[in-house]
Structure 1
């Protein structure tokens, strides 16, 4: 896999991906950017959430389960010292629909422990939780 990143001036860049999509990246105005794109760290968190969410949908589809709604919320902590890497990432999955809780918990575990190449590329501690039809779930199911 190969991507390219092109400087657009100041602190802005456009990333071109092999799939043909582009991503705008920029820094905050207070550090010389124009705030015309996502921060790379924001994209990294979205990549972790997207990777695990795609895994979970794929696993649920194989079980013939299709949620009515599926969102994620990601919270992360970063080191105080440079390179300010992520030290902890928590992904909360929010689903609604006719999804058996045990199967959802299994899909989350499979993504987290085996399949998500993005999260496995990071050294941060990654945890997960979920809500199903408005009720907080437990990974112990």
Structure 2
């Protein structure tokens, strides 16, 4: 696995994964950027959110949990002037007929398996979560 970053202008750069995918990183205009993309720290949080969504899908399939909707909101906090995240809250919203207990078990297993979440955990970032089960209209 390899990533390559190329500076393009001011605070803007393009990051590639060398498999044909790229992401634009930048800073907001208030920090001398052009606001053309997420900051690296925002991308880190976005990666955690995406990883939870992907791994939940993998675990749910193995547990035979079917769903028609799945959203993951991930909120990072930097407390006491910390330079990076100290706390992350994950809110999973799911539209499923599976039991609350089964969904809870699936999310707990997801958080143990999510490689990005493991990095956050190893860095000492406190992660909490909540589940909202959506009701069909």
TM-score normalised by length of structure 2: 0.89
The alpha-carbon deviation at position 106 of structure 1 amounts to 0.6
The alpha-carbon deviation at position 80 of structure 1 amounts to 4.2
**Contact 1:57–1:66 (CA under 8 A) maintained in structure 2:** no
2:118 pairs with 1:117:
no
Residue 137 of structure 1 corresponds to: none
Residue 98 of structure 1 corresponds to: 97
**Contact 2:71–2:94 (CA under 8 A) maintained in structure 1:** yes
The alpha-carbon deviation at position 66 of structure 1 amounts to 2.2
**Contact 1:74–1:89 (CA under 8 A) maintained in structure 2:** yes
Residue ranges of structure 1 left out of the alignment (5+ in a row): 135-141
Residue ranges of structure 2 left out of the alignment (5+ in a row): none
Matches within 5 A, 1:11-50: 11-50=11-50
TM-score normalised by length of structure 1: 0.87
**Contact 2:69–2:95 (CA under 8 A) maintained in structure 1:** yes
Provide, for residues 72-125 of structure 1, a one-character-per-residue CA deviation record: whole Å limited to 9, x for no partner. 11122114436x11000000000012222211101111121x211111112210
What secondary structure sits across from 1:121 in the alignment?
helix
Residue 133 of structure 2 corresponds to: 132
Task: Give the number of aligned pairs.
Answer: 132
**Aligned alpha-carbon RMSD (Å):** 1.4
